[in-house]
Chains A and B, each alone.
Chain A
Amino acid sequence: DSGVTQTPKHLITATGQRVTLRCSPRSGDLSVYWYQQSLDQGLQFLIQYYNGEERAKGNILERFSAQQFPDLHSELNLSSLELGDSALYFCASSGWGANYGYTFGSGTRLTVV
């Protein structure tokens, strides 16, 4: 157990639908990052939050949005889902100040049918 909790582990939904992925960061970590990993692909950075505020954006589609709540958990919302959105979605958390490595969760596997 890495300390980063992602739910659900698996999600199957139909095209056009909307889903919410949830992430609880490791205790004490203020930064949360979301990544998308398609089959045999690398880690595509989506978005970062730090202590409730958006800090950086990557190649995140307009159909996707995220937020970080006062208790520091984060949610990634994916809407108008397409077949190509099928992927593993990872959340990672980190501390701040000096460089810290990221701690990744075990991911949510999203399948759009």
Chain B
Amino acid sequence: GENVEQHPSTLSVQEGDSAVIKCTYSDSASNYFPWYKQELGKGPQLIIDIRSNVGEKKDQRIAVTLNKTAKHFSLHITETQPEDSAVYFCAASPVGNMLTFGGGTRLMVKP
């Protein structure tokens, strides 16, 4: 089955700096890669996703890149703000299959 590794487990940045979270996956059949943000006491919320026919996708200050050859994908957050502080999860799935989640990254943005 699919295995997703996520790094780092914790990340502390200064407000205004960029943050990068990286994930690797094992199943070459995986073609869907979503990212979730979980704020304290809430359920994970989908913030951006990418499919294997696309190398990069942007949504305002958030971008995701995918390298199918190396089997890794990354989340980039620019101009971080205190409200970006949360736990972020990456995930991967082959067509029609279940998502496999990474272990999560706790992002702390210091004012």
Contact = CB atoms under 8 A, between A and B. Distances in A.
A45 B101 CA distance: 9
Interface in B97-111: 98-99, 101-104
Contacts of A99: 31-32, 51, 93, 95-96
Instruction: Pick from B31, B34, B99 the residue with the most CB of A within 10 Å.
Output: B99
Nearest to B95: A99
Instruction: Pick from A4, A101, A104 the residue with the most CB of B within 10 Å.
Output: A101
Q: How large is the interface on B (under 10, 10 to 19, 20 to 34, 35 or more residues)?
A: 20 to 34
A4 B89 CA distance: 19
Contacts, number: 49
Interface of B: 31-32, 34, 36, 42-46, 49, 51, 89, 93, 95-96, 98-99, 101-104
Contacts of A98: 95-96
A102 B99 CA distance: 8
Given A42-B104, A43-B101, A99-B51, A104 B96 contact: no
Contacts of B102: 42
Given A43-B101, A99-B32, A105 B43 contact: yes
Label chain A's interface by main secondary structure.
Answer: loop
Contacts of B96: 96-99
Given A42-B104, A99-B32, A99-B51, A90 B44 contact: yes
Instruction: Pick from B46, B51, B95 the residue with the most CB of A within 10 Å.
Output: B46
Interface string A1-37: 0101000000000000000000000000000010000
A70 B11 CA distance: 44
